[in-house]
Amino acid sequence: MENLKYRIIYEYEFRRGTSAAETTQRVNDVFLKSGQTITADVYCQQLQTMMEKLAAKQPRLVNRSTPLLLHDNARPHTAQQTATKLEELQLECLRHPPYSPDLAPTD
């Protein structure tokens, strides 16, 4: 059901011609408490919730030798608290690809 909510919001905003940044802000406004931002604490809670839901719905993704996670270098993602949580959950983080016009995915 959660995925359906997100999909509906993204499709609606896409049809309105809203940019990705504005759409993300609107999703955050809906799903985060008013005035709440993503901190290391919030991100760690989201990681824990994600792993619990994955274990229930897609156990093969959690039960592999090292489950993978891709995230960028935002402060909540690189905080020591997050690194500790990632170790606890035994998640391996893939490095985010560098931003370079020479490395376009279509090439």
> Each residue of 26-82: pLDDT tens digit?
777 766 776 778 899 988 998 998 899 888 988 888 887 877 888 888 899 889 999
pLDDT of amino acid 12: 84
47 and 77 assigned to the same domain: yes
| pLDDT of residue 1 exceeding 60 | no
Q: Are 93 and 69 in contact (CB under 8 A)?
A: yes
The SS3 assignment for 90 reads coil
Domain that holds residue 80: 40-103
Asked if 12 and 52 sit in the same domain, the reply is: no
Number of domains in the chain: 2
Q: Are residues 25 and 48 in the same domain?
A: no
7 lies in the same domain as 55: no
Looking at residue 88, what is its pLDDT?
A: 93
Nearest in space to 6 (alpha carbons), one of 17, 23, 18:
23
Question: Tens digit of pLDDT for each residue in 78-89?
Answer: 899 999 999 999
Residues 58, 94: one domain? Answer: yes
Check whether residue 68 and residue 91 sit in a common domain: yes
